[in-house]
Amino acid sequence: MIDKAKSILSAFASQIPQTVFGPERVAYIAENIGKISDEDKLILLKLANHILSKMLDSQASDIELGGHATNEYVWLRIFGAKNPVHELPKLTTDESCLLIMSLLNQNQLKHLLVSRNLDFSYSFRYEKENKDVRFRADTYYDLDTLALNMRSISAETRPIESFGFHPFAVKSMSHTFIKFGLSLITGITGSGKSTTLDSIIDNHNKTDNAHIVIVAAPIEYVHKSNKCLIRHREVGRDVLSFKEGVIQALRQDPDIIVIGEMRDPETILAALEVTDTGHKVFSTLHTSSAVESIDRIIAEVHANEQERVRNRLADVLTSVVSQKLVPSLDGKRALAKEVLIVTPSVKAAIKNDNTSEIYMMINQGAPQGMITLEQDLIRLFRERKISKEMAVSYANNKTRIVQMLKAI
């Protein structure tokens, strides 16, 4: 199958005129991919699925394909380290471009050629475990060629108990305990935000008779309705934008609204607005600490709006979980988290623009379910899950964690 697929790719690539170059070369492949027979397209899909199966066999989180940067190799990220895979076939930029396009439908191809980027989801039957597996994918241009990143989406959610949250923290994120409010899951790319958010949704699905509307780009884990009725709305496919999805959700009788990511001021304002109307809202941000998350939301809006947003955020925010995946001593990765529970003191600090005081409130807030990232890194070090060097490297407050390590 691999040899047959490689010959199909090579034959197609050899027919591309040498006079076609730059972005026109990608456009040429898109215009002529329809000339490939259905039988050959199926073989190309089998090659893509074979590569993805290799990814799953290797316990990789991400795969990279195509573009000049790969040097024609397929690259995998395994436990945080990204390396080329020499066991898989090498693909030229034209061949990888054709293989990437074979995963897309006509509408997706049109969007890609116009926007130069496309987020989408992909799934296939993983024969080794006889189950359907899903991937979050992003294809984009790299020096006038197509590149692709795909991230594996876990087929199962982690139980909420496995994250080590304080019971008060779990309550603050629970719709049964607090009927409205904004809960944020934050972290850099690849820090496991989606995994945490899906576990929170799954916990509600087991315990709460609620209606959940998920607006994401793309939809990753697909929840099966149990106690909750769970709707999945993918931006670009089921709804035009995050903002539209959030506003439309108000007319869909939700109890909980999940916003995949607060990417822009419009989505942030829409999230605050729907929370203000008495809904439970969960969302994610690309920030590395609880205080940074608060500051980022306020800074995203126009200066004239910041005072109003600061007051509204103080009124609706209930919790912030900021997390990092730290290389562990067993060669894998361990979750380190910072948890902020919004108490009256935290609300006052946000309203008075004194967010710098919040770190010490978290540091002293263990009875309320709070923990700083540095305190959690120390816990992981004491449990011999991570090294001292990694604890210091991944800390937000280097001075603080060095002091804490000296006291051990």
Residues 110-139 have pLDDT tens digits of 889 999 999 888 988 888 888 888 899 999
Task: Identify the pLDDT of residue 180.
Answer: 93
Same domain assignment for residues 81 and 171: no
Maximum Cα–Cα distance across the chain: 69
Q: State mean pLDDT over 70-89.
A: 93
pLDDT for res 93: 94
> 176 and 140 in one domain?
no
Spell out where 176-316 has E strands: 181-186, 211-216, 229-234, 256-259, 280-285
Secondary element (H or E) of residue 147: strand 145-153
To the nearest 10 degrees (0 to 180), the angle between helices 344-351 and 306-316 is 170
Position with higher pLDDT, 111 vs 100: 100
Residue owning tokens 């007051």: 311
Section 179-202 average pLDDT: 93
Last residue of a domain, one of 117, 132, 153: 153
C-alpha count within 13 angstroms, C-beta hemisphere, residue 134? 13
Q: Please state, in angstroms and rounded to a whole number, the distance separating the CA atoms of residues 272 and 318.
A: 12
User: What pLDDT does residue 220 have?
Assistant: 83
Question: Number of C-alpha atoms within 13 angstroms, CB side, residue 131?
Answer: 8
Residues 311 and 192 in one domain: yes
Same domain, 282 and 376: yes
* CATH code (residue 34): 3.30.450.90
Partners of residue 405 on adjacent β-strands? none
Return the closest-CA partner of residue 321 out of 216, 205, 194. Answer: 194
pLDDT of residue 360: 96
User: Does residue 402 share a domain with residue 279?
Assistant: yes
Q: How far apart are CA 17 and CA 32, in angstroms?
A: 12
Q: List the one residue out of 364, 363, 381 whose CA is nearest residue 372.
A: 363
Q: State pLDDT tens for residues 19-58.
A: 888 889 999 999 999 899 999 999 999 999 999 999 999 9
pLDDT class of 1 with cuts at 50, 70, 90:
confident
CB 256 within 8 A of CB 165: no
Q: Whole-angstrom Cα distance, residue 83 to residue 89?
A: 15
Kindly report, residue by residue over 238-261, the tens digit of the pLDDT: 988 899 999 999 999 999 999 999
User: Does the pLDDT value for residue 86 go beyond 80?
Assistant: yes
Cα gap 101→41, rounded to integer Å: 10
pLDDT, tens digit (0-9, with 9 covering 90-100), for 345-390: 999 999 999 999 999 999 999 999 999 999 999 999 999 999 999 9
Tell whether omega for the bond before 344 is within 30 degrees of 0, i.e. cis: no
- In this structure, the chain runs to a length of 408
Residue that terminates a domain, selected from 153, 188, 214: 153
Residue type present at position 220: E
Same-domain check for residues 212 and 349:
yes
What are 328-342's pLDDT values in tens digits? 999 889 999 999 999
User: Are 274 and 371 members of one domain?
Assistant: yes
Counting residues of the chain whose pLDDT is more than 90, the rounded percentage is 75
Q: Rounded distance, CA 302 to CA 119, Å?
A: 28
Q: State the DSSP code for 178.
A: -
Based on the domain organization, do 142 and 36 belong to the same domain? yes
Tell whether the model's pLDDT for residue 155 goes beyond 80. Answer: no
Domain that holds residue 74: 2-153
> pLDDT band at residue 213, thresholds of 50, 70 and 90?
very high
What is d(CA 105, CA 125) in angstroms, rounded to the nearest whole number? 19
Query: Of 138, 153, 168, at which residue does a domain stop?
Result: 153
Same domain, yes or no: 102 and 238: no
* CATH at 299: 3.40.50.300
pLDDT of residue 129: 83
Mean pLDDT, the chain, integer: 93
Mean of pLDDT values over 399-407: 92
pLDDT of 408 above 90? no
Confidence of residue 184 (pLDDT cuts 50, 70, 90): very high
State whether 225 and 83 are in the same domain: no
> Under a CB-based contact definition with an 8 Å cutoff, are residues 213 and 231 in contact?
yes
- Arithmetic mean of pLDDT, 218-246: 90
Q: Report the C-alpha gap between 214 and 219 in whole angstroms.
A: 8
Angle at 285 between CA 152 and CA 172, to 5 degrees: 100
Number of domains within the chain: 2
Check whether 280 has a pLDDT greater than 90: yes
Q: Do 113 and 7 fall into the same domain?
A: yes
Residue 318's H or E segment, with its range, is: strand 317-327
Indicate whether 319 pLDDT > 90: yes
- Across 270-275, average pLDDT: 92
Question: Residue 147 is which amino acid?
Answer: A
**At residue 55, what is the residue type?**
M
Residue 166 and residue 284 in one domain: yes
